[in-house]
Amino acid sequence: MENWPLFYVIVLGLGMIGILVVSANLSVKKLIGVAAYFNLSSTFMGMTVVSLATSIPEITSHFTASAKILSGSLDFRIGSSIVLGSNIGSDVFQQTFILGLVVLLTGTMHFRRYFMWKSMVPMIAASALCILLGLDRVYSRWDGLILFGTFILYSLYLFFDERKFFQAEDNVHMSEEISDSIPITKKQVLLDSLISVLLLIVTVLAASQVLRATEIIVNRTNISGSLLGVVTLGLASAMPELSTALAGVRHKEFGISLGTLIGSNITNPLVGIGLGALVSTYAVPRPLLLWDLPWATLTGILLWIILWARKGKLGKVEGFYLMAMYFVFVVLRAVLFPVDF
| Contact (CB, 8 A) for 28 and 240 | yes
Distance CA 313, CA 254 (A): 13
Nearest one of 269, 262, 255 to 48, comparing CA atoms:
262
| Contact (CB, 8 A) for 9 and 218 | no
- pLDDT value for 173: 47
- Helix (H) or strand (E) holding 181, with range, is none
pTM: predicted TM-score of the whole model, two decimal places: 0.82
What pLDDT tens digit does each residue of the chain (341 aa) get? 778 888 888 898 889 888 877 887 787 778 777 777 776 665 566 667 777 777 888 888 898 899 999 999 999 999 999 999 999 998 999 899 988 988 888 887 777 777 788 889 999 999 999 999 999 999 999 999 999 999 999 988 887 876 666 554 444 545 555 566 678 888 998 998 899 888 878 887 887 788 788 888 888 887 888 888 887 777 777 777 777 677 666 656 556 667 777 888 999 999 999 999 999 999 999 999 999 999 999 999 998 998 888 888 888 898 999 999 999 999 999 999 988 87
Distance CA 338, CA 328 (A): 15
- 71-75, Cβ contacts within 8 angstroms, sequence gap of 24 or more: 74/211, 74/212, 74/215, 75/215
- Largest CA-CA distance found in the chain, in angstroms, rounded: 60
- pLDDT value for 275: 95
- pLDDT value for 283: 96
Distance CA 322, CA 304 (A): 13
| Contact (CB, 8 A) for 179 and 29 | no
- pLDDT value for 165: 60
- The residues, any chain, with a CB within 8 Å of residue 95's CB and separated by 6 or more, are 123, 261, 262, 265, 296, 299, 300, 303, 322
DSSP assignment of 207-232 equals HHHHHHHHHHHHHHH---HHHHIIII
Cross-strand partners of 282:
139
- The residues, any chain, with a CB within 8 Å of residue 209's CB and separated by 6 or more, are 12, 13, 16
Return the percent helix, strand and coil in the chain, to nearest 5.
80, 5, 15
**Domains of the chain with bracketed CATH:** 6-336 (1.20.1420.30)
| Phi, psi values for residue 282, rounded to 5° | -135, 145
